[in-house]
Amino acid sequence: MFTTIQHKITDEIRTTKLKLKGPQHRRPRLDSMPLPKLSLLLLTGVLFYICAAEPTNEECKKKPNEVLGCSNGEGTCEDPFPHYGDCGHYKCICKYEYVRAPNGTCIRWTSCPNACPEDEMWDDCGSCERTCVNPYPDPTKCTCERRCRCVPILVRSSTGKCIYSSECIADINPCMNHMCNEDETCVAVESNCTYFGCSKKAVCVKSSCASTKV
> From residue 214, how far is each of 130, 136, 190, 209 by CA, in Å?
23, 22, 8, 14
Are 57 and 70 in contact by the 8 Å Cβ rule? The answer is no
Q: Is 108 exposed, middle or buried (0-12, 13-18, 19+ CB in 10 A)?
A: middle
Q: What is the pLDDT of residue 196?
A: 43
Residue 12's pLDDT is: 59
- Of 179, 167, 105, 100, nearest in space to 135 by CA: 167
**150: in domain:** yes
Asked whether 201 and 189 are in contact (CB, 8 A), the reply is: yes
3-class DSSP state of 207: helix
Measured CA to CA, the distance from residue 178 to residue 214 in angstroms comes to: 13
Number of structural domains (the chain) is 3
Is the residue at 80 inside a domain?
Answer: yes
pLDDT value for 23 = 53
Tens of each residue's pLDDT in the chain, 214 residues: 545 545 555 565 565 555 555 555 455 555 555 656 555 656 555 554 445 568 888 899 899 999 999 888 888 888 887 777 788 889 999 998 899 988 899 998 888 877 888 898 888 777 788 888 888 888 788 888 878 889 889 999 888 899 998 888 766 666 777 788 888 888 877 655 544 445 567 788 887 665 544 4
Please give the pLDDT value at position 66.
93
- Would you state the pLDDT for residue 34? 61
In angstroms, the CA 72 to CA 95 distance is 13
Asked if 94 and 107 sit in the same domain, the reply is yes
For residue 63, what are the domain limits? Answer: 57-111
Strand partners, 151: none
Which residues contact residue 67 at a Cβ distance below 8 angstroms, ignoring those fewer than 6 apart? 57, 60, 61, 92, 93, 94, 95
In this prediction, residue 195 carries a pLDDT of: 44
Q: Does 72 fall in a domain?
A: yes
Which backbone phi and psi does 93 adopt, to 5 degrees? -130, 165
Both 65 and 100 in one domain: the answer is yes
CA distance 124 to 96: 16
pLDDT in tens, 11-33: 655 655 555 555 554 555 555 55
pLDDT value for 87: 83
Mark whether 105 and 121 lie in a shared domain.
no
**Phi and psi at residue 68, to the nearest 5°:** -80, 130
Q: What's 103-132 look like in SS3? A: CCCEEEHHHCCCCCCCCEEEECCHHHCCEC
Residues 206 and 187 in one domain: yes
| Cα end-to-end span (Å), the chain | 136
Within this chain, do residues 107 and 121 fall inside the same structural domain, yes or no? Answer: no
CATH at 135:
2.10.25.10
